[in-house]
Amino acid sequence: MPGTKSYIADVWSETRRITATWLPWTAPGRRPVGPAGVARLGHRSYVGGKWEAIGRLQYEFLVSQGLLPHHVLLDIACGSLRGGVHFIPFLDVGHYLGIDKEEALIAAGVAHELGSELIALKRPQFVVSPAFEFERFPLRPDFAWAHSLFTHLPQPLIHACLEKLRQAAHRETRCYATFFECGKPRVNPAAAHDHKAFLFTRSELEQFGAAAGWRMKYVGDWNHPRGQKMVLFYEPVAGCSLNP
C-alpha cells in the first residue's frame, strides 16, 4: 500500500516522542503496575512525576474554566491526588469526588499528601473502582476531570467511561479530558496500561463522545509539559443508550 512505510515511521516517531517524556528510566511495558508498582516507584512517580507543576496546572485550568467552591468536581482516575491536593482545599465540604482503580494510590495520597486535618475539614469522597462506578457517589458532578486517563485506555474503555459518566451527570455537567493527539488513526494496545501511551486523533475523540451521548469541543494546547491536549465533553443526552 502506498505510503505504508511512511505512515508507520510517523506513528513510531510520535510514540517515541511522547513516551520519552514520561518516566524515561525504563521502558513503558516493563514498569510495574498495580500495588507492586506503587510500592516500587512511589505514589508520585507512579502517576508520572512532575508533581507540583502538573498538579497546579490542573487546578489553574479548571478555575479558569469557571470552577467555583460550590461546584461538585468528579476527579476520574484521581490517583494519588496530584490534582486533588489543590482541588480539595478549594472546594466546599464534600464536593470533591475522587475515583480510581488503584486503592494504593488513593491511600498514599490521603496519608502523605492530604493529612488527617484536611480530610476532617473538607471530607472528600473516594470510590475505588475499575469500572467507573460513578453511581456510588451521592452527588452529581458539575465538572468532571479526566486528566491523563484516556492517554492509557483503549477505545472501548473510553466509551465505557463516557457512557457511565453521562448516566451520572446532569444536563449542565462539563467533562474536561486530556489525550495524546496524533494526526492519523493508529493501532493502540488492546488492553489498558498505566504506563503505555495511547494516541488518538481529534476526530476519534469526537466520535467516542458522540457514541456515548456527548458533544465535544476541541480545546487543544493548555501548556501541559508532556504535550497532552484538552477536549471538553458537554451537553450529555439524557436517557440515551448508544453503542460504541
User: Over 70: is that where the pLDDT of 240 sits?
Assistant: no
Amino acid 216: pLDDT: 98
Q: List, for residues 69-117, the tens digit of each pLDDT value.
A: 999 999 999 988 999 999 999 999 999 999 999 898 899 999 988 989 9
What does the pLDDT average to over 157-162? 98
Residue 6 has pLDDT above 60, yes or no: no
Nearest residue to 76 (alpha-carbon basis) of 137, 120, 13, 17: 137
For residue 199, which phi and psi values (nearest 5 degrees)?
-115, 140
In this prediction, residues 231-242 reach a mean pLDDT of 77
pLDDT band at 15 (very low <50, low <70, confident <90, very high): very low
Using a pLDDT cut of 70, give the percent of the chain over it.
82
Cβ burial 16-41 (10 Å sphere, 16+ → b, else e): eebbeebbeeeebeebebeeebbeeb
> pLDDT by residue (tens digit) across 202-222?
999 999 999 999 999 999 999
Q: Would 240 be classed as within a structural domain?
A: no
Q: Mean pLDDT over residues 182-210, rounded?
A: 94
Q: Taking residues 214-237, what's their average pLDDT?
A: 95
pLDDT average, residue stretch 141-153: 96
Q: What percent of the chain has pLDDT over 90?
A: 67
Domains of the chain: total: 1
Per-residue confidence band for 193, with pLDDT thresholds at 50, 70 and 90: confident
Would you state the pLDDT for residue 39?
74
H or E element that contains 127:
strand 125-128
In a domain, 42, yes or no: no
**Average pLDDT taken over every residue of the chain:** 86
**pLDDT at residue 54 tops 70:** yes
Q: Is residue 129 part of a domain?
A: yes
Domain assignment present for residue 173? The answer is yes
DSSP state of 236: P
150 part of a folded domain: yes
Place of cell 470552577: 67
Please report whether residue 225 resides in a domain.
Answer: yes
CATH code at position 171? 3.40.50.150
* Full residue range of the structural domain in which residue 81 is found: 49-234
* Residue 106 placed within a domain: yes
**Residues making up the chain, counted from first to last:** 244
Helix (H, G, I), strand (E, B) or coil at 155: helix
Domain membership of residue 40 (yes or no) is no
CA neighbor of 179 nearest in space, from 242, 134, 222, 131? 222
Sequence-ordered list of residues with C-beta below 8 angstroms from that of 7, at least 6 positions apart, any chain? 184
